[in-house]
Every structure is written in structure tokens, then in C-alpha cells.
Amino acid sequence: MFDKILIANRGEIACRVIKTARRMGIATVAVYSEADREARHVALADEAVLLGPAPSRESYLVIDRIIDACKNTGAQAVHPGYGFLSENEEFARRVEEEGLVFIGPKHESIAAMGDKIASKRLALAAKVSTIPGWNDVIESAEQAVKIAGDIGYPVMIKASAGGGGKGLRVAYGDKEAFEGFSSCRNEARASFGDDRVFIEKFIEGPRHIEIQVLGDSHGNCVYLWERECSIQRRHQKVIEEAPSAFISEATRQAMGEQAVALAKAVRYQSVGTVEFVVGRDQDFYFLEMNTRLQVEHPVTECITGLDLVEQMIRVAAGEKLGFAQPDVRRSGWAMECRINAEDPFRNFLPSTGRLVKYRPPAQTMEASLPMPATGGVRVDTGVREGGEIPMFYDSMIAKLVVHGHDRNDAIRRMREALNAFVIRGVSSNIPFQASLLANPRFVAGDFNTGFIPEQYPGGFSTAQLPHDDPDFVIALAGAVHRWVLEREAGLSGQLRGHEMTIRGDYVVVVRGDAGARNFHPVRLSVDEGATRVTVGERNHTIRLTGSLREVAIFGECDGAPFCAQVELVGLDYRISHNGLTLLTRVMSPRAAELYALVPHKPPPDMSRFLLSPMPGLLVEVAVEAGQKVLAGEKLAVIEAMKMENVLLAAEDRVVAKVAAGKGESLMVDQVILEFE
């Protein structure tokens, strides 16, 4: 076994590997860029080595510097994590040539499966079901259009070296095929240094289901069941779960056996994932093999009780698998939500900055530790309160994982955990996750990879956050106000005859968009330590079991436990529950009557400007001064968090001035264009 390993990655996955290595008694070396000097993975590791400037191409992607860091620290092996160099054949080969051990598959296996064209040919030879398509390199957009027409629309245009949703487009016609080919090629060249593109038939109404495999250097290979990854936005997974509620035991076994056959065909030695697209009738087709640890590996760890990072390390050290296929258990139901730094109400634009508050829910499960029999909550993260979310890397803040005895139990636990997850300073996608988990179709398991665009065709908004009980937030605002007043009434030094008195009747004003105000009369009283709140004709009894000092407060409402987030913002209480956030103001009836007469001051009209919605690099300005643009036309492209964000015209306008140039680093709300 190794004495010391280097983790050639950052963030959450670097922290995850460190946990297992520490339990196994292995020392760890972290690497970091200048942007990550204060990062959590640097603090957790036994040693840390600076690689270079913030951009990954000058730090985390520089193979020579990582090799030098291994030699200088005496690390015997390298764990690549996921992303960056994890599926880079040259990196794995160089590590091996330098006398080090790559904690992952051999470079020959990475090469065979990393090339999606070659991998499809290998899959065919191994008698794995594959999708009809064109598996040779396509040289031009015109050729792509012809091939797509021959296959029959819709088609999927994919970069051969692509991954993580990059270099992938779905085309439903010639125009989309032409443009999609060019976009895929450019994106693949920028992200992977390989611009080869191929085309295959797009299966409509598909499920994305993947099989986790594990092989050793002694010819043993098993599958560790499946993961359901169909809930995706722009080909990026949002919620993953294991097992899948869709497939039968027969389909599960057939997929597993085909995945093992493919892994054995390339003499696979490590953990890997064989991805399938599954049609409505449970026919399944090979998509690709990811020759690395997956982001969503915790859900497999939950249902099998295996530590996949430990298995990777043991296999890399030459050990045999300690179990065979019949020994692989499957227990309960696991679910993972990716918590990303993005604003779901602004079309999921990246959100960077400092984590002013970061309080994950209480953990009852921990990576690398045995699974509790009763299930629980796990948070895999690479950040901490006060840390920065930089613009140079992906937007993931944490992975929130729950394990329950069945799917409904897992959904319930996840909703509770999301309610308790406090993130301030940057926007997060928690409201969107909460909306997905409450969606009746998701709860019923009735979805495919098109679920999000089908359910949210115009994007995401607060209107898509239906609450189980809208009166609960009103009642909670009233109860919180009563608790605050009781605390103030107990303060010493009050002037005699002018002590604070607590009324029984109040009005909860809910403030909405564009100055909307909704007035809700409530009556408050105290009954045996609980607050009784009457909203309309309904009575609620709310009991606080935690402290108001924390943002996330715990209690019971009518006997049922709850967690909600409550903050005092000026005169308002900002209350968040089940994804819904409301600004409420609790007032006396007379004050509410006067407040209703106060006019709303609208914000200034900024429609004459195109503002940068995020910090990032302006990689393209597609228009010039004096040009007439039509609604939907591309205006500019901003690169942030490894993704290109295209800004489109909201309406027909004429460009008066170009205020920012290509290559400029933009701040949030910086003016890019002015319109007449």
C-alpha cells in the first residue's frame, strides 16, 4: 500500500479523496492554483504544492508541474479526481513512465474509451447494444448536415473527446445540425484540444442510466448496480439517484453484464462508468464509458456500502477485489442534489463571490465511513464559510446526498436537508432543486432527460415554487415576530409605564415583485410554550425547538417537524421554506393600513443597456455600433466557470455604442452595449 499520494485536483473531490486516504493511513499532497491558496482541500492535506496562476490551463492542466510535485514530495501515486486530467491518456501514461502509479485505469483503457468513435467500435465488437450513427470523423458542417439527414432527425452531435455536457448538441433540422457542428467543434477544441465530432441518432423520451463497474489487475470485474441520471439541464446532471425506479431486474442485470463485458474487453482496472440511453420500452444503447470516478459516486456508495475511492486505491496498489458479483448488495435508496453557485431566477447564470454564510445541514453520514443502518444525510464539499467561489472553475458548491429506506423516504429527507442548507453571499440552485423534488411527475418517477425543458419551458421563476401549505409561511412570520417581541419585552431598563406590550392582532404583509403587497391579518397567542397563530379561519400551533440565533430554525407546526430559514432584513423577515423565499413584514393593523397607501418606487429602466450578468471574460462581441439587431439575435458571449454564456437581444433594437471589447474581464452589471 502507498505511504503518500498526490491528488491532482481541487475542491470537493480533492477533499473527498483526502478523507479516504486519511482513514487508510496514507499521507496526502494537495496541489493548488493562486486562486485556491486558501481553499479547503489545501488546508485538509498533509502537504500542498503551488502549481501556477488561476486559469486551469496554467495550473491544474500542466502535467509537468504535477509530475514535479510528486517527485519533490515523495508521492508514490496520483489520484486525478474527476475533470481536469482525469481522463487524459497522456497524463496517465506520463505518470506510469515516471515510475509513479496512476490511481485509475491504464492509459490504454483511457485511450480506448476516451475516444467516443473508437469506443463505439469496441462496444460493437463486445456485443454491447449501440445507437445507430456515423462513427467516423466528420470534416465539415456541410457533411454533418448530409449525414444527419441520412440518419434521420433528431440527431445528437457529439465531440469525440467531450464530456460534462461540453461539445454536445441536439439537432432537429439542417440549420441546427450546421450550427451545432460548428459549436461542438469550437467548444471541444477549447475544452479538450480535440475537435473531432461524430453524429448518432437521438433517442426520444430517453432515460440516462449508467452502470458503475469495478475491475482489478487480476481479471476480476463486477458491476455495482445503476444510477438514474435523467434529471439534466443542458446535458448537465442535476439530481442523481440509485437505484432507478424505471428499469426491471432483468434489464438491470442485462445492462450490468454488458457493462462488465465492455470493461473486460479493454482490461479495465479501476472504477468506471458505462453510460446507457434507455428508451421507453427499456431497450438500452451504449453511450460512452467514463474512465474515472463520477461526480455522483456517493449514491452508489450509499446503496452498496462500498467506499469507491478506497477500491480505486486498493486496485491501483495491485490488490485483488475482495468480493465477487453475488456479494454486491443493494440496500435502500440514495439521492444526490448538486448544489451549484448559479442563479436559477436569471437563467442559471454563474454566481461568484464570497460565501458570507455557509452552513450545510447536519451530517449523519460521512464519506469513507460505514453507512448508518437508518440512512441519513451526507455533504461532500470543497468550500467553507468565508471562502471564495472563483470564476475560473466549475460552479459546484457541494453535493447533498441522502439515503432512505425507499424512494419516497429519500425525497422527504432531501427536501428537509435542502431547507436546512444555508448559503449566503452567492446565489445557489437550491430553490430549483426544491421545485424539482416537489414536482408530481418527479415524485411519481415519470420523467426522462427532457423533463426539465418540458416542465420549465420559459425558464425558472418563483411562480414554479408551489408550496405544500402557503399559510405556513404566513403563520411562521407571525410566530417569529411574537418570539422577537417577547425577547425585547424581557429586556431590563424599560421606562416604567412605557414597557413594551405585545398585541394579539397583527397583519403579515408579503412583499412581491413590482411592488406587490398582500395583507394577511393574523391573531397571535401563547399556549403552553407554543405560539398559536390564526390565519384566516385556520389555527396553527408552532413550537420552536432550536434557536433564533441561527438562520436555519427548527420546530414543529401542528405536531409535524419543520426546518425553515429566517433572517431579519431591515424591517422584514426573509423566510425560505421548500424553495420558496418570501419577504414578510409584520405590522399592527393601523400601520398596515398606512403602509398600503405608500406608493411603490419602481427601479430605474435599464433596458437601454446590455449588462454583464456575471463576472467573466468577454470572448465575443457579435455586433457593432449602428447595427440593427432582432429579438433573439446573439449580442455577446461571456466565458465563466468553464462555460460559454451567450447573451441574446430581448427585443428589436439599434446598437448605439459598444462599451466593452473582446478579451475584457467584466464585473457584474458592467455595461457591454448601449441601445438607441
371: exposed, middle or buried (C-beta count within 10 Å: 0-12, 13-18, 19+)? buried
In terms of DSSP H, where are the helices of 564-627?
A: 589-595
Cβ proximity of 618 and 666 under 8 Å: yes
Rounded-to-integer distance, Cα 229 and Cα 627, Å: 44
Residue tagged 415554487 (cell numbers): 465
DSSP output for 291-346: -S--TTHHHHHHHH---HHHHHHHHHTTPPPS--GGG----SEEEEEEEESEEGGG
125: exposed, middle or buried (C-beta count within 10 Å: 0-12, 13-18, 19+)? exposed
Rounded-to-integer distance, Cα 587 and Cα 446, Å: 44
**Would the CA dihedral through 447, 449, 452, 457 be positive or negative?**
negative
Known catalytic residue at 288: yes
Look up residue 243 and give its three cell numbers: 437505484
For 212, list phi and psi in degrees, rounded to 5: -85, 125
Alpha carbon of residue 575 to chain centroid: 23
Cβ proximity of 163 and 116 under 8 Å: no
Of 585, 589, 636, the residue nearest 610 (C-alpha): 636
Cβ proximity of 58 and 65 under 8 Å: no
Write down the catalytic residue from 89, 200, 241, 288.
288
Rounded-to-integer distance, Cα 355 and Cα 386, Å: 5
Rounded-to-integer distance, Cα 41 and Cα 30, Å: 7
Q: To 5 degrees, how large is the angle CA 448–CA 449–CA 453?
A: 105
Active centre residues (catalytic):
288
